[in-house]
Structure 1
Amino acid sequence: MLLDREINMLNYLPEFLQDFREFQELAAAENPEILALWGRLDNVMKEQFIEDATEDGVKRWEAILNINPKGSDSLELRKFRILTRLNEKLPYTYKKLAQQLETLCGESGYSLELMNNEYKLIVRVALAAKSMLAEVEKLLKRIVPVNICIDLNLLYKQNAALGSYKHAHLRKYTHEQLRSEVF
């Protein structure tokens, strides 16, 4: 991070000028300005990468991609939405869709099944991406051909995932909570 820099403009002057009080005062006045400039430069660098972007960078990306965020959207969800849009590329093939879902949800964060004879695409998204389900749905609606029915839902926990918990602990939760919530 650039803000951890030690800035002293006096070190850039020749040694014989460093002893003059006027130059010492000038350097002392310039040091905070240069430090602030480094901070702004650091922010400009962060805005180039969605994962590191600040609120201002996310606003800029949203303007570029013509995305209208809701007031209640978290910064994480807004970044996810931007990444979703940036990952959309032609041609839309099954393999490309699988790559996009892997990018958004992780390698084991989704399941994808195409039922050609029924014109049906079954997509399950892992619990970690639960808040992004609506964004995945928008992505699918944009890239899946209109004649294919989309069946999108959460990828629920398997019983094996709960095997390390004792029955007394699990008894506190409903079946729905056990299969779909993180605890």
Structure 2
Amino acid sequence: MEAEIRDVRIERYYPDVLINSKEFSVLSKAVDPELANVWKALWKQFLNTFIYLLDKGGATRWESMLNLHPAVTDSLDTRRKVILAKINSSLPYTHRSFQLTLNGIYGENNVKVSLQYNKYECWLDITASLLYRSSAIKNLASVVIPANLSILVSNTKYVVFEIYSGLSMRMFKHIYIHPGVTFNIQNGSKIACFYSLTIKKMRHIKIRSR
């Protein structure tokens, strides 16, 4: 919303008989600047009723009413977003709507919400650049997230690197001897048993990492 500029001139409201009067002309020159200041102050108060049009004074007033305590390093835009989030932190909230709120305040996917329903945990994965604001983010989440969920903060980093490992190999030879039994029937009456041995060689390889 652009600021409305009004040319304040009190002489427009003078009766025709007073327009050319020197006394009233001097009076208008003295009063017009004061009325212009009054108009600017009223317009400023009007703009401060809109969150995204707040100036520093308006932001301080809202923060006082909402019991917010901004950091010294917070920009005016950041303060506006925190105020808006506080106003909009009314239940019920969904996972998706809360994620959209965080995206609007802290940037797209700078704070990711994940829920572990079986453990009753809500994880807020925060980028490294916003870790200093983790307390403020948790305070915002505590207003929105149900009280039976624990609010936990994490910071995930994806790193690509190579891992080197050494291997040692040992070879063992095991020899197993199993008896082989054969039966041979001759002439239908005599039974001869012949025993022989078979040798089976097996190799077992064990690989162990160091």
Task: Place the TM-score, normalised by the shorter chain, in its bin.
Answer: 0.5 to 0.7
CA contact (8 A) 1:105 1:125 kept: no
When residues 105 and 151 of structure 1 are mapped into structure 2, their CA distance, relative to the original with a 3 A threshold, is same
RMSD: 3.2
When residues 33 and 128 of structure 1 are mapped into structure 2, their CA distance, relative to the original with a 3 A threshold, is farther
Partner of 1:98: 99
When residues 52 and 125 of structure 1 are mapped into structure 2, their CA distance, relative to the original with a 3 A threshold, is farther
Partner of 1:74: 74
**Aligned pairs (5 A) from 1:109-128:** 109-125=110-126
Partner of 1:59: 60
When residues 32 and 122 of structure 1 are mapped into structure 2, their CA distance, relative to the original with a 3 A threshold, is same
Q: Distance in 2 between matches of 1:26 and 1:124?
A: 65
CA contact (8 A) 1:125 1:153 kept: yes
Deviations 1:16-71 (A, max 9, x none): 4321112211211110111011111121012212232223322221222123455x
Q: What's the secondary structure of 2:153's corresponding residue?
A: strand
Q: Which runs of 5+ in 1 are unaligned?
A: 160-183
Q: Which amino acid aligns with 2:52?
A: E
Q: Give the greater-gyration-radius structure (CA).
A: 2
Aligned pairs, number: 157
Larger RCO, structures 1/2 (Cα 8 Å, 6+ apart)? 1
**Aligned pairs (5 A) from 1:16-55:** 16-55=17-56
CA contact (8 A) 1:123 1:153 kept: yes
Q: Which amino acid aligns with 1:97?
A: F
Higher relative strand content: 2
TM-score w.r.t. structure 1 length?
0.66
Q: Distance in 2 between matches of 1:32 and 1:101?
A: 45
CA contact (8 A) 1:80 1:132 kept: no
Q: Distance in 1 between matches of 2:155 and 2:43?
A: 38
When residues 78 and 157 of structure 1 are mapped into structure 2, their CA distance, relative to the original with a 3 A threshold, is farther
Q: Distance in 1 between matches of 2:113 and 2:104?
A: 14
TM-score w.r.t. structure 2 length?
0.59
Q: Which runs of 5+ in 2 are unaligned?
A: 161-210
CA contact (8 A) 2:10 2:31 kept: yes
Cα drift, residue 86 of structure 1:
1.0
